[in-house]
Amino acid sequence: MATTAGTPGTPRVLRAMNDRAALDLLLEHGPLSRTRIGKLTGLSKPTASQLLARLEAAGLVLAGGTTEGRPGPGAQLYEVNPSAAYAAGLDVTPARVLAAVADVTGRTVGRYELPTPGRRPAVPVVQQVTDALDGAVKAAGLARSDVHRLVVGTPGAFDPGTGRLRYASHLPGWHSPALLDELAAALPMPVGYENDVNLAAVAEQRLGAARGHEDFVLLWNQEGLGAALVLGGRLHRGWTGGAGEVGFLPVPGAPLVRKVSRTGSGGFQELAGSQALAGLAREVGVTDVPSGPYPEAAAALVARAARTGDDPHRRLLQTYATRLATGLASLVSVLDPELVVLSGTSLVAGGEALRDLVRDELEELAASRPRLVVGDVTEHPVLRGALESALATTRDEVFDTSR
């Protein structure tokens, strides 16, 4: 009986595995010679030559420059063809939609920001998404049809059973049960949807402070307070996508918030969310509290407290750390993670000073001792995570040469 092309162990499948290994090495290390690829993959020189010729013919790699600094003629270098595929990501907040397009190597080639102020969207959500995507595509010099996959990051999560966006009552226009079908009809590429904090964790896991870690918690404090839970290397989303919505968590020190689905907030959010920092600062005697939108003003306040040595600012940073650790202790006690990443503008602004205070408080409140770090991906981490998520699926499809 004939063996099918997809059967494990067949020559086609083995070649495809070698092809993918070589492509991943080129993505990680940049341009490599045939000899270097052979050494890294364990392939013979003839087999490596055949592999590169095959990938070049498929449009997946390009022959670039040559090695320098050695006697004799330089060796030909190969790199992944950036234009082999493109992926896009969107970061959606109540104030704006930020879109970007990346080539298959991960380099951002186009970005566009669409302001969306107001409690009621003047422009339908489908048009917001397409306008933002088209702006990024145009900035990249591409067409919409060039994008292989799009991932959209939003607050909350789309319930897999109903298709409705949950846990994000503050995002106007995104709660229609028909929205996902409408977006699918308007866009030519497959579209994925993910919670914004989960995408920040994807960015940290692939590019930042959580690289190499299979179990970690990312605590996020920006427009809202949330967490991402990565267990065994995979995001834990829960039954309705609501895993990590820790802003709703009842905590000591804050009154019980009832009917949280209507109020859009809970005890931990009221205790330690960014919007609570201005009031906390006044309580501890800080007189020059910044004004303006609370995520930006809160980050400025925390940054100043971390670098200022007077008593009111020290009390502010210590009290904020205690409040953060109060909720974080519940997560650490249940999940026992290897690592906790502090992310979002209101946590990153505190830097190592805030991290150390949270760690010290957590050691008093929880039995386990995870390592605490400040997130490394600080420039649009949700957008970067959306791009990384879209690129992962795109590469799995485009780099599969077994078909």
The pLDDT, as a whole number, for residue 122 is 72
Confidence of residue 9 (pLDDT cuts 50, 70, 90): low
What number is the average pLDDT over the span 26-43?
91
Of 6-15, 34-43, 323-332, minimum mean pLDDT range: 6-15
CA dist 287 and 345 (Å) reads: 22
For 320-344, b/e burial (b = at least 16 CB within 10 A) is bbbbbbbbbbbbbeebebebbbbbb
Element (H, E) at 232: none
- Which neighbouring-strand residues pair with 165? 158
Average pLDDT over residues 271-278: 94
pLDDT of residue 82: 96
Pick from 42-46, 159-163, 263-267, 393-397 the range whose average pLDDT is largest: 393-397
- Model pLDDT, residue 261: 74
Distance CA 265, CA 258 (A): 9
pLDDT of residue 1: 34
Tell me the per-residue pLDDT of 196-242, one tens digit each, with 9 for 90 and over: 999 999 999 999 999 999 999 999 999 889 999 999 999 999 998 88
pLDDT given for residue 10 in this prediction = 73
Helix axes 351-365, 311-335, angle to 10 degrees: 50
pLDDT at res. 64 = 79
Tokens of 98: 């930020």
- pLDDT bracket for residue 7 (50, 70, 90): low
Q: pTM for this one?
A: 0.92
Can you read off the two tokens belonging to residue 106?
């991960």
* Ranges 3-12, 40-49, 262-271: which has the least confidence: 3-12
Give 277's contacts (C-beta < 8 A, 6+ positions apart): 294, 297, 298, 301, 302, 316, 320, 346
Query: For position 255, what pLDDT does the model report?
Result: 87
Mean pLDDT of the 100-124 span? 90
| Cα 53 from Cα 63, distance rounded (Å) | 10
Neighbour count for residue 82 (Cβ, 10 Å)? 15
User: Per this entry, what is the length of the chain?
Assistant: 403
The residues, any chain, with a CB within 8 Å of residue 356's CB and separated by 6 or more, are none
Q: How confident is the model at residue 318 (pLDDT cuts 50, 70, 90)?
A: very high
What local confidence, expressed as pLDDT, does residue 160 receive?
A: 87
> At residue 268, what is the residue type?
F
Residue 309 pLDDT greater than 90, yes or no? no
Give pLDDT, residue 4: 41
Element (DSSP H or E) covering residue 215: none
Q: Once rounded to an integer, what is the mean pLDDT over residues 59-75? A: 73
What letter does residue 99 receive in the DSSP assignment?
Answer: E
Looking at residue 211, its pLDDT comes to 95
Position 68 scores a pLDDT of: 61
Q: What is the secondary structure of 103-165 as a DSSP string? A: ETTS-EEEEEEEE--SSS-SS-HHHHHHHHHHHHHHHTT--GGGEEEEEEEESSEE-TTT--E
Joined tokens for residue 65: 């420059």
- Reply yes or no on whether the pLDDT at 72 is more than 60: no
What would you report as the CA-atom Rg of the chain, rounded to the nearest whole angstrom? 24
Tell me the pLDDT tens digit for each residue of 119-178.
Answer: 676 789 999 999 999 999 999 999 999 999 999 999 999 998 888 999 888 888 899 999
Q: What pLDDT, on the 0 to 100 scale, is given for residue 6?
A: 54
Nearest to 298 by CA among 314, 285, 312, 279: 279
Stretch 326-348: mean pLDDT, rounded?
Answer: 96
pLDDT at 8: 55
State how far the Cα of 224 lies from the Cα of 231, in Å rounded to an integer.
23
Check pLDDT > 60 for residue 2.
Answer: no
